[in-house]
Amino acid sequence: MSFPESTKLTVKRKADFSCCWCRDRHNKVDVHHIIPEAQGGSDEEDNAAPLCGSCHDKYGGNPNLRKEITLRRDQWYEICAKLINPQYGWPIGLDVPVLSFSRAIPATSSVPTVGIQFTDKDPGDSSNPPLLYVTTHFKRSRYFGRNLPDEDEKWLYVETNMRFALNLRIQVQAQNDRDVSSLMVFLTKGEERYLPDFVRAAPPELRRQYIADLDRGWALYGPAPSSDRGSGDYLRVWREHAESRLMISTFTPTHAGISIHARFTDAVSSKFAHYLDEAGFANGDAA
């Protein structure tokens, strides 16, 4: 017997759907027994390790590495927990902007696709302008400029501007179909057509669990500037205390970084999902 589907989903989410040994998000991860069933290994979560096929073939069959696999798994869980569950406990009275307005942004010479911008106040009111502007453009390549070849990739270029002269620009990529469907399911609060095939085919209880689990959020990542998987650009959305929240960050290999936080309304969530769908992010295969 293999692990129950609910256990597999729990383990994969704890590992941010990546291998606990190589930590490469491009490799498909599966849940493997640390101690094989044939040798008395249980189907409990404590005996489960998220490994890609390559790492499982290289290390999973070596009984001398079982303890190390467990240690690597637990360490990776801790690292991912900081990204998956950013429970920051914002102090009472902290003025975190609520993005509640949206408008289309025209293409530019460097970003030749129409974008969408979210603000915390009406951008047309010059007497009380927004404090925060968050602009997103969908791109098919990490590069900028017109007449670039269509690389059939899925990138989001995000630019944030605050009235206190703070500007942050990041690029993040949907690296696989899981990134696409998870973000879309989160933004639409479980719209059926964005659910992965295996979830659609699952019993109703498992579908509900999958959608509820996504309240913990989802992240898209940019290319890491070093071998440290904790560095690079991040765009994370999650729900906390009945609020939808957003974190846009860039981190160095030493985990020093800059982050901008915001909340956003259900209307903005719906409009963001509509923009991503219309732009092509939610359609076809991700790179």
Residue 92 has pLDDT above 80, yes or no: no
Tell me the average pLDDT across 196-205.
88
At 286, the pLDDT band (50, 70, 90 cuts) reads very low
73 vs 284, higher pLDDT: 73
Residue 84 has pLDDT above 70, yes or no: no
* Start-to-end Cα distance in the chain: 33
Residue 168 has pLDDT above 70, yes or no: yes
Tell me the average pLDDT across 111-119.
94
Lowest mean pLDDT: which of 95-109, 121-135, 140-154, 235-249? Answer: 140-154
Residue 105 has pLDDT above 60, yes or no: yes
Distance CA 280, CA 247 (A): 23
Listed by start position, the domains of the chain span 5-84, 98-279
Tell me the fold of 5-84.
DNA Binding (I), subunit A (1.10.30)
Quote the pLDDT of residue 181: 94
Smallest CA-to-CA distance from 194 within 105, 86, 276 is with: 276
186: burial class by Cβ within 10 Å (0-12, 13-18, 19+)?
Answer: buried
At 95, the pLDDT band (50, 70, 90 cuts) reads confident
Tell me the average pLDDT across 112-140.
93
Q: Kindly tell me the number of DSSP H helices and DSSP E strands found in the chain.
A: 7, 12
Helix (H) or strand (E) holding 234: strand 232-240
Those residues with Cβ within 8 angstroms of residue 64's Cβ, 6 or more apart along the chain or in another chain: none
Quote the pLDDT of residue 198: 85
